[in-house]
Structure 1
Amino acid sequence: MTEILFFHLERQPLEAALPQLVAKSLERGWRVAVQAGSEERARTLDTLLWTFADDSFLPHGLSGDGVDADQPVLIGWTGDNRNAAVVRFLVDRAEPPDLSPYIRGVFLFDGNDPEAVAEARAHWKTQKAAGHALTYWQQGARGGWEKKA
């Protein structure tokens, strides 16, 4: 059974939340796949993970750069798992592949976009029907994550 987490972004944009969550996965020794909704968005996230902080970066690659299997974090726009990731982040309304091979699946969605919220609810129902363990996280007043379900 895969643990599926839903992160409802309200006070912090994806660009601030994603690097923190990916870093925590790497600290646990997990290989990560980040699936964006489009190739263009994947390229933007590639730049983000190199530049999100002045004093650090997250080691990663962009799918198709020729060394996919060696990347601890691989950013792409399809459901492939070219780096043998055990955690898959789904951002920008990316369509999830079968998440059962993963330890964890993570949906990050914009709480200010009604269509993204509706889509996240549909994914919740689908993932629950697949028998996965689901949790829902919402940003608190101070920007931290609060488990709501």
Structure 2
Amino acid sequence: MPPRVQFYHNAENPLALACEFAARAYGSGRKVALRTQDATAARQLDQMLWNFEQQAFVPHVMAGSPLAAETPVVIGHAEAPNEWPHAEILFNLADDVPPGHERFRMLIEIIGQSEEQKLPARARWMHYKQKDLPLQAFDAIRREAL
């Protein structure tokens, strides 16, 4: 079954939105892969998850960790090939189409407000559309369908 693809456009802070969505997914018992553009953003996302909510803990590790298969939230980045231990939800914050996205049940693209982020997102949208994947678009600020 092909993945459902959701685009969240206009995110003020894509990493913070990814933290929120990952925490919510984890809270509902789902397993998550978070894919950033580079190692720096992956480390920043890692730190943000540690501090995201005062009373909440989102168990997470970096891709490649020996604990990745046992951990519900795994962080990787586009600069290194990732073998994702889960195939439930992939959050993509990178500029390219994630390799292996077909094996996930859901792919969520989080796009910021700059033209630098919007242009590659449009190309990804067209890629998924050409593959006949079910697409939905949302405004990240208003949290409503576009």
State whether TM-score is above 0.5: yes
1:97 aligned to which of 96, 99, 118: 99
Matching residue's letter, 2:110? L
Percent sequence identity over aligned pairs: 24
Aligned to 1:120: 121
Q: Distance in 2 between matches of 1:79 and 1:88?
A: 14
Question: In structure 2, how many angstroms separate the alpha carbons of the residues matched to 1:129 and 1:47?
Answer: 36
User: Aligned residue for 1:51?
Assistant: 51
Cα–Cα, structure 1 residues 59 and 94, in superposed 2: closer, same or farther, change >3 Å?
A: farther
Note if contact 1:60-1:72 (Cα within 8 Å) is conserved in structure 2: yes
Q: Mean Cα displacement is larger for which, 38-47 or 25-34?
A: 25-34
> Cα–Cα, structure 1 residues 43 and 59, in superposed 2: closer, same or farther, change >3 Å?
same
Structure 1 stretch displaced more, 38-47 or 79-88: 79-88
Change (3 A) 1:130 1:98: farther
Q: Distance in 1 between matches of 2:25 and 2:142?
A: 17
SS state at 2:103 partner: coil
The whole-number CA distance in structure 2 between the counterparts of 1:65 and 1:14 is 24
Q: Find the aligned partners of 1:144 and 1:61 in 2 and give their Cα distance.
A: 30
Query: 4+ runs of 1 displaced by more than 6 Å?
Result: none
CA contact (8 A) 1:30 1:85 kept: no
Shift of 1:51: 0.6
1:131 correspondence with 2:132: yes
User: Which deviations, in whole Å up to 9, do the C-alpha atoms of 1:83-129 show, x marking residues without a partner?
Assistant: 22311011143541132211100111112x11210110100000111
Equivalent residue number for residue 107 of structure 1: 109
The answer to whether the Cα contact below 8 Å between 2:63 and 2:83 also exists between their aligned partners in 1 is: no
1:76-91 equivalent positions in 2, closer than 5 A: 76-77=76-77, 78=80, 80-91=82-93
Deviation at 1:79, TM superposition (A): 5.1
Provide the alpha-carbon RMSD of the alignment.
1.7
Report the residue type matching 1:90 in the other structure: N
TM-score (norm 2): 0.88
Q: Is the 8 A contact 1:79 1:96 kept in 2?
A: no
Return 5+ residue gaps in structure 1 as ranges. none
**TM-score, normalization: structure 1?**
0.86
Shift of 1:34: 0.4
